[in-house]
Amino acid sequence: MIAVFPDKLMTPKQIVMEKLEMKLNNLINRALIVGGTHGNEFTGVYLIKLFEQFPELIRRDKFETLTLLANPEAFAVGRRYIHKDLNRCFLRQNLEDTTLSTYEDLLAKKINDSYGQNGKKPVDFILDLHSTTSNMGVTILIDNEEPFHLQLAAYLRHVNPAIKVYSSGNSGRSQNALRSLGKFGIGIEVGCIPQGVLNADFFLKTQSIIYTILNYLELYNVNKLPEFPNTFILYKYIEKIDYPRNENGEITAMIHPQLQFKDYEALNPGDPMFLTLDGQTIPYEGNSITYPVFINEAAYYETGTAMCLTNQHQITV
C-alpha cells in the first residue's frame, strides 16, 4: 500500500519510520513543574517548596522532573506580579524584544533561556500550578487541542471525574503563557481560594493530580497507557464579559448572588448576571446557553473581566 500525501509518496517503511520519529519526538524526556507564576497563588508555591525539599516525590524513572518557583519577587511581597503579569510575557516577539525590561519581561526571558525549546534545558512538558478566587473546583487548563493534551485530559477525568477541562485557546493563551514554552503544557487551576492564602484541601488535591500526571507521563513514554474512556466534556472559551461600569470606569454592579460560585453551570438568556450597587438585576443578554468560568476572579477586575463565557463540547480523542 502506498499512502498518498498531497506532496509526497511514501513507502510502507517510510510510514513506519515517520510514525516512529513522531513518537520519539513526542517522548517526554524532561518535565517542568511550575508554581508561583502568580506570586499570590500559594498552592503552587508551597508545592514547589515541598518538592524541592523532597525531590523523591516527583522523581520518575523514564524522564527528568524539574521544578521552578517562577516569580519569587512577587511571592516575597505577596502579589500577583511586580510590574506586569508574568503569564502574559511569553509571546515570541516579546521574548526577542530587547527594549522590554520590566522585572517580569526579564524574568520571562530568563525562564525561556533556561527551559524554552532553544534553552539550556528545553522541557517537553510544563505543568503550571494556579489558583483562582472563582469556584472552579479542580480545572485542567489546555491552550490548544493537540491530541497529547486531549488524551491527558481524558485520562485525568477518568481518574477523577470531578475534574473539569477548560480550553483557553481562543483567548490567546497558547502564545503568551509560561506553559507555552514547553513542547506540551497544561495548567491546573483550583478554587475558590483567596489570593495570599494556602488552602490544605486544594493543596492535597493538586498534589494528587501532579502525581497522577507524572505517572501518566511514565506510562506514556513506555507506551503502556491503560485503556480509558476517550470522550469528555471540554469547555471552550468564547469571550470575556466585563462588569458594568460608569463613565469613569468604576464598577457599578456585582456578580449577581444567583450566579456567584456557579462556574461551569448553565447560564440561560435572561438569567440574572449582575446586581447593581443600588439593587437592580441585570440579566444575561446572550442568545444562547453558556457556561461561565472565572466568575469573580480577583485578578481579573483590572483586566475588565467579570467572567469568561464558554461553550460545552463533547470531545472524542
Residue 278 found at the interface with a copy of itself (CB under 8 A):
yes
* CB 70, min distance to a copy of itself, A: 17
Question: How many Cβ atoms are within 10 Å of 53's Cβ, its own excluded?
Answer: 8
Which of the residues 90 through 149 are near a copy of itself (CB under 8 A)? 133
For residue 72, what is the DSSP state?
A: H
* CB 188, min distance to a copy of itself, A: 17
> From the list 10, 66, 91, 251, which residue makes contact with a copy of itself (rule: CB under 8 A)?
251
Cis peptide before 192 (omega within 30 of 0): yes
Pick between residue 42 and residue 184 the one whose CB is nearest to a copy of itself.
Answer: 42
How far apart are alpha carbons 254 and 276 in whole angstroms? 6
Mark the segment that binds a copy of itself (CB under 8 A) among 89-97, 142-150, 249-257, 262-270: 249-257
Pick between residue 50 and residue 91 the one whose CB is nearest to a copy of itself.
Answer: 50
Give the largest Cα separation in the chain, rounded. 73
How far apart are alpha carbons 140 and 191 in whole angstroms? 12
Residue 254 found at the interface with a copy of itself (CB under 8 A):
yes
Mark the segment that binds a copy of itself (CB under 8 A) among 66-74, 122-130, 253-261, 283-291: 253-261
How far apart are alpha carbons 174 and 112 in whole angstroms? 15
Binding mask 193-222 for a copy of itself (x = CB under 8 A): xxxxxxxxx-xx------------------
- Residue 58 has, within 13 A of its CA and on its CB side, a CA count of 25
Which of the residues 179 through 198 are near a copy of itself (CB under 8 A)? 192-198
For residue 230, what is the DSSP state?
A: -
Residue 76 found at the interface with a copy of itself (CB under 8 A):
no
DSSP per residue over 96-132, as a string?
Answer: T-TT--SHHHHHHHHHHHHHSTTSSS--SEEEEEEE-
Cell of residue 180, nine digits: 507555552
> From the list 3, 54, 242, 280, which residue makes contact with a copy of itself (rule: CB under 8 A)?
54
* CB 250, min distance to a copy of itself, A: 7
Which of the residues 287 through 316 are near a copy of itself (CB under 8 A)? 296, 298-299, 301-302
CA distances from 297 to 32, 245, 261 (A): 26, 17, 10
CA distances from 273 to 238, 267, 285 (A): 17, 9, 9
Residues in contact with a copy of itself by CB under 8 A are 46, 49-50, 53-54, 78-79, 133, 192-201, 203-204, 250-251, 254-257, 260, 275, 277-278, 296, 298-299, 301-302
